[in-house]
Each structure stands twice: as C-alpha cells, then as structure tokens.
Structure 1
Amino acid sequence: MNRGRTAPVAVGVVGAAGAVGRAVLEELLRLGVGPVRAAVRRPHRRALPAGVELWSEPVDVTDARALAAFCAECQVVVNATGPVRAVGHRVAEAALASGADLVDVNDTAELPEPPSYARLLRWRTVVIGAGLMPGLAGLLPGLLGIRASNGLHGTLTVHVGGLPHFPPAAARDFMDRLARPGGEVTAVWRGGRRVSGALAVERGIRLPYFPGAVTAIPYLTEEAVGVARRCGLDEVRWYTVFGGDATRAVLDRYRAGLTPGPAVEMAAAELSRATLTDLAGRPPYQVVTCELDGRSGLVLTGTDSSALTGSAAAHAALTLLDGELPPGQRHFADLPDPGRIVRRIAHGPAVRELRLLDRPLADLPVEEGIL
C-alpha cells in the first residue's frame, strides 16, 4: 500500500512476455485492474493482451537503470521472472526504492544473500512466493479448518502437479532444489522436525483426481514446513506429481542427485523439453489435493501451472492495491483469510474446480480423461 502517494500505473509486470507474466496480465485485466504496464526483455512475436501498456524500452533484470525507470510510476510491481537464484532481489530492490509495493512469484527468502531493502519494509509491503508452489499450494490447507494447538496433531498429505509445461526458469528452480543439500526430496515432517529419507518416490501409481498413472516425488519444501508449523501438524507428507512419461524418464535419470552448476543447467533444459514432449497432443492440467487424517480434504483442478501462478500473483497484487496488508514482508501462503482469497481465484479461468470434501479423497475417484 502506497501511503500518501498516487501513481499513474496501478500494476507493472516485469517478465510480461513469459507464460507466467502473460497470465498475470490477463487476470489483472479480468479483475478490472488498471492501468497495467508490461516490461519485456526483448520484442515478442505474440502480442500482449489488449489494454496493456507496453513499456517503450527493454527491461532486463540485470539492468538496474532500466528496472528503476520502469518501476518509477507503479503502485505495485509484479516480478514474473526467474529462476530465483539468477534474478535474486533485483526487482524487489528497484520496486521498493521507487516507492512501489512488490509481488514476487519466487520465494526470495530461500536466497543465501539477505536483501538490501529491509529498512524500506517500514513503509512498503512485499508478498513473496506468490505462485502455485510456492504460493497457492501452501494457502489451500488453510481451508481445511486446521488450528494450531499446544500439542502437535494430525497428518496432512498434499499432492501438487499434473501435466505441465515447465518453462526454462521454472525447470531450473525445480532442478536447483534437487541439487541442494538439506533433505527436501524423500523427507517428511514428523514430530516437529524434518526426517530425511523417510518416504520413497512412487512410480506408476494412480491418485484420486489425477488421470492416468503418475510419478509422485516426496518433496518437503520450506513452504510445507511452514504449513506444518503454522497449523501445529504432527506430520506433513508433501508430493510433487508428474503425469508424463518423458518427464518421468528425465527425473529417473537424475534421481541420484545433481551436482550444482552446469549439471543443473543441463538437467533443467532436459526437463523443460520433456514437459513439452509430454504435452504433444494433450491438454495441460494441474491438480492440488490436500487430505487431513485420511478423512477430509480439498481438491483444486486447474488448466495449467503457469496460469495458476499468474492468477495467484495477480490476486496478491489486488490485495496490495486494496490496502489489505500492513508494511513488511510475508509469504503468499501466510496471507490472512485464505478462504476468501482462494474463492476469488477460483472464479477465474485458471481454475476448473474447487471442492471441499468431508470424506476421504479416494471415495470420489475421477475417471481418466475427465480433466
């Protein structure tokens, strides 16, 4: 929220030509937000949505001058670029220095270097991790009515995935996490701590609401740990799910781990290409399921991971424009009143269905092809 300041541009989107950036623009326009300004690194053959103002100069996140000029007249800036370790805090620093609030689809809290903008958070507001995962997947368990108590209780199982296209930046972020120490892959949260190697990768399995056979990779991210702590859960099992054969083959090839550096770059390029191969002749889909103690749950089905990420970021920007958050930095998954935010997102075209269940997910199987 920009106290005492009026900016002629409501929202500026950095990385607007990418799949996520375009989805942010489309959802902002659908919500009636405007004016909306778009920054691109280079001219793009595909025109931006009608009603968007294209910034006249190219904007590369490594060009501090160009970033500052773009952000100068914006009330809120959305960073839709990645990967997070390449972009770092650059967009946030430029936006906040110009007097804008910020939404970032990346979780910049995982970066090793601290941000230089901490003093500006006395006046400015930043929402990070405003995508699908991190972001919407971490917000959804809040709809299950889980309440933290003095003791740990309950087991939450979350499956996030489907048949996506991983753009190069998203593929790099995913493979970069596979290369990191810390036990995210095959780990479970149990009894208040991370237990490494407790779960196995499940191949060729069938899950409720996921059409066909899938691969489920236990993937205990910091967002999952945050959900466990916030809700006082005894156990959290968090899986990333892939539905394509080519994607599964790439992940199997690197299941022993990766060496940080060029190996990650090569693996990310392979993963991005594999997701396109799996999509040949098939529509993308995305599913998030949350189940508490095997007795109640939630299902969200969507059109595409980029569309859901863009929708989450757009609604985070709307929250800032409406002045609903105090100054400071917080994760999208920690936003107040998650039910209202999710229901608002569910009215958009990126979501096909949102369903709360008072029974186990397996009691309502989805036939293959229904998505």
Structure 2
Amino acid sequence: MRGRVIGLVGAYGSVGRQVALLLADACQLRLGGRDARQAEQLNQQQLRGRAEVRAVDLWDDQSLTAFCAGCQLVINCAGPSYRIVDRVARAALAAGADYLDVGGDDPLHQRLQGRLPAGRRVLLSAGMLPGLSGLFPQVLASRFQEVRALRCYAGGLGRLSATAAEDFLLSLGNGFGQAQFGWSAGRAVRLAASAAHGLQPDWLPGVAVQAVPYLSTEQQRLFSDLQVASGQGFNLFEGGQLAAALQRIQGSDPKTRHSAQNIAALVQASTLDVAGRTPYQVLAVEVEGVRDGRLQRARGWLRGSDGSRLTGSVAAFCALHWAQLPTGLHYAAQVLDAAACLEQVRHWLPDTRVSWPCSEPATAATVEVEEGVL
C-alpha cells in the first residue's frame, strides 16, 4: 500500500489529523486544505515531513481537480458534508480515484447511485456517527441466532465546532433521519411516546440524560438487514442547553435553520454544557432475541473521549482494508467487518472503553415500538 497516493481533504482538521497520523506509515499521503501553511505544520510537526502538501479549495473546480490528479484514493474529512455533498466525490472519480467519505450519507448516495465507473469503490458514512454507530450493534447482535428487538443510543458531551453545528442543522429534514420515529414490522412508524427525561442508564453511572427518539437512515438499514421486528434509536443529551437550543431551532422555518445565528447558538449551548466537565462520546445497544435456543437480552456500550478521533480511526481502518472491500457504492456499516473494525479502533484509542455484559433470560419483550398516528 506504500506506493499508493491517498489524497486527504480537510487534512488539518480534527478528523483529518487523526487519519493522517494513522496512515502516514502505510501510504504516500497528500495533505489538502485551503490553508497550505496549516497542512505543512501538520506534516512537519507530527508526520516528520513524510507527506506531500497541496492547497485545495473545495469550491474551485480547477483546484479540486488538480488535487485529485494522480491519487488512487481520495478521503474527504472536510465539512459541512451536507453542503459539499458530491463535489469532492465527482472530482475524485473524474480523476480516476476511488472515494471515501466520513460523512455523505443518503444525499450523497443518491447523487452517485448508478454513476460509478466499473470496478471502482466508493464508501460513505465511514466515521463515528454514522459509521461506528451502525457497526457496533452488529457485534452484539451477531451473538444471537435471531434478533427480535433492538435499541440503539448515541450521544455525548463536547463542544461543537461551527462546521459540525452547521452540518447537523443542514441534516435536519435532509435525509439523515426522523425525530419521533421507530421501526416496526419492516417499516418506519411514528411514535406515540415523547422524549424520556432523567434517564440514568447503568452504562452512564451517576449521569442523568435526556433520550430523544430519533430514527436515522443508518438505523433503518441496520434494522432491515438484521430483520428486526422492533427497533428504536435515541439521541442522548446531557446538560440541557444543547437539547433546548435544538428544540427551539427544530420548530423554526426549515429555510433558515442553518443560519449563522443558529449555528452560533448550537456552539454556545454545547460549550455551556461541557463547561467544567470531561468530554465523552457514547454508543450503547440493547438486544433481545434467541440465543442458545432461549429468549435472552443483552446490553453493551462503547465510550470514548473524542468523537473526531473515533471518526478518523474508522476512516483509517477503511483505507487500510480498501482492497478487501467490494467494488461499487456502499455505506461503511454494511460492508466492513464490524468486529475487526471495533478491535482496531480500541487498539488505536486505548482510552476507548467497551463493555459486553453477560446476557440474561428475557421473560417478556423489552423493546416495543408504541406507534402513534401516521
């Protein structure tokens, strides 16, 4: 793999930096960003000058084309992904390169579907969320012969960057998922139940959180692939400021949701929530199904300190195993080896804790989707 040129867009951002650190010994890296000076600082200070540095402006076609030329793989770590959509992907494919995106999700998938040259690989949603959030439940679910019900939780505590805040706001109502929806009998259904306040799960000892029902498109694919009869997803919020800001913004005009004022409000709210606290990101899953001929239930959780490092680690795993991936257009969670990816992430990030509690008999269904009015 050392002779392959991998172009890294958004190289000196928090996600791109993690990818660069993990891939520098394995391939020939080309670091790209609007500010070549920052990319060169990364190269000299942390990569010992092993990479090539080029300035690239994502909104300049000529600049983007020049950056992608000669690359065998282009990895996009820049954002907001819901604004970039397919700009980097199209330039990479036109230059003869494969493409890997830590974001992308359904809007990008829709634009690229049916447009890939034969034999090429494009992998989307190869980060923490989406990405690891779709892989992690599979590890626990694989211990069951039949999965009947599944709950997935995701959340954490940390300061949002302006780019992350804008990307989140752009995702609302833009194909990423649906609030107050769950999964039942092979389809998405509106839930009657509202957010649960004061939830204090044992995988977050001593911390009360707000769990907001949210069915992402990644979860829909997961529930469908596992043939789960009943499934739910929840976004977790701790501290209250961010949850309150999001509730206010979601009730506003969709055309102005991603305004500069709302972006600043999310950044400020997340900063207030994390003040004096230790940042963390958590994924948790509860499974009920048939194991060893008996109806059982089990829970597992993953907790890391930095969502950007988790995202970058998943992307680096994809790049290192690129030749083993199927050709065509895919979501990361549907084609990666979930257990191998999780093990590699834990090796790279030793502070990432994973717990797989022993399963226990289930005498009644523990996950039921209570439908509301469609």
Q: TM-score range by the shorter chain?
A: 0.7 to 0.9
Mapped contact 1:67–1:91 kept (Cα < 8 A): yes
Residue number in structure 2 paired with 1:91: 88
* Amino acid in the other structure paired with 2:358: D
CA shift at 1:251, angstroms? 2.3
Post-superposition offset of 1:86: 0.9
Q: Which residue of 1 aligns with 2:151?
A: 157
RMSD across aligned C-alpha pairs, in angstroms? Answer: 2.7
Q: Work out whether residues 209 and 287 of structure 1, in 8 Å CA contact, stay in contact via their aligned partners in 2.
A: no
Is 2:249–2:257's contact at 8 Å kept on the other side of the alignment?
no
Match of 2:119 among 116, 123, 126: 123
Kept in 1: contact 2:223–2:231 (CA 8 A): yes
Matched, 1:267 2:232: no
Q: Note closer, same or farther for the CA distance 1:298–1:147 as it changes in structure 2 (3 Å cut).
A: closer
Does residue 25 of structure 2 align to residue 23 of structure 1? Answer: no
- Which residue of 2 is the match for residue 299 of structure 1? 301
Q: How many residues align?
A: 347
What are the superposed Cα offsets for residues 117-169 of structure 1, whole Å, 9 maximum, x if unpaired?
8142x1211110001111000011111244999xx951111111111232223
Q: CA deviation at 1:180?
A: 4.8
1:286 aligns with 2:288: no
Q: How does 1:15-54 map to 2 (within 5 A)?
A: 15-29=10-24, 32-43=25-36, 47-48=41-42, 49-51=46-48
Residue 268 of structure 1 and its aligned partner are, at CA, apart by 3.0
Please point out which of 11, 29, 33 is paired with 2:6.
11
Counterpart of 2:70? 73
Measure the CA separation in 2 of the matches of 1:261 and 1:187. Answer: 23
Query: In the alignment, which residue of structure 1 is the partner of 2:244?
Result: 249
* CA–CA distance in structure 1, aligned partners of residues 31 and 22 of structure 2: 13
Match of 1:358? 358
TM-score by length of 2: 0.84
| TM-score w.r.t. length of structure 1 | 0.84
Residues 105 and 331 of structure 2 are in contact (CA less than 8 Å); yes or no, is this contact kept in structure 1? no
- Cα distance in 1 between the residues matched to 2:190 and 2:262: 23
**1:143–1:55 CA distance, 2 compared to 1 (3 A):** same
Residue segments in structure 1 that go unaligned for 5+ positions in a row: 1-5, 361-371
Are the equivalent residues in 2 in contact too, given 1:93–1:117 (CA < 8 A)? Answer: no
**Paired residue type of 2:82:** R
Unaligned runs of 5+ in 2: 289-295, 361-374
The answer on 1:184 being equivalent to 2:174 is: no
The alignment partner of 1:236 has SS state of: strand
Distance of aligned partners of 1:319 and 1:232 in 2 relative to their CA distance in 1, 3 Å threshold:
same
Q: Is the contact made by 1:204 and 1:213 (CA closer than 8 Å) also made in structure 2?
A: yes
3-state DSSP of counterpart to 1:227: helix
Q: Indicate which of 318, 325, 331 corresponds to 1:316.
A: 318
Q: Is the 8 A contact 2:82 2:104 kept in 1?
A: no
Name the counterpart of 2:329. Answer: 329
Q: Offset of 1:315 from its aligned partner? A: 0.9
- Determine whether 1:100 maps to 2:94: no
**Partner in structure 2 of residue 344 of structure 1:** 344
Residues 133 and 283 of structure 2 are in contact (CA less than 8 Å); yes or no, is this contact kept in structure 1?
Answer: yes
Rounded to whole Å, the distance in 1 between the matches of 2:252 and 2:346 is: 37
Percent identity, aligned pairs only, is 33
Could you say if the C-alpha distance between residues 153 and 288 of structure 1 is closer, same or farther in structure 2, counting changes exceeding 3 Å?
A: closer
Structure 2: distance between partners of 1:299 and 1:51: 36
Bigger shift: residues 81-90 or 347-356: 347-356
Q: How far apart, in 2, do the equivalents of 1:145 and 1:200 lie?
A: 26
CA deviations on 1:60-117 (whole Å, 9 max, x unpaired) are: 2111221222222322211011222210111111112222221101134324962388
> 1:166 aligns to what SS in structure 2?
coil
Amino acid at match of 1:95: A
Q: Distance in 2 between matches of 1:119 and 1:192?
A: 29
Distance in 1 (CA, whole Å) between partners of 2:97 and 2:90 is 10
Closer/same/farther in 2, CA of residues 77 and 174 from structure 1, 3 Å limit: same
2:236 partner amino acid = V
* Equivalent residue, structure 2, for 1:215: 210
Runs of 4+ in 1 over 6 A off after TM superposition: none
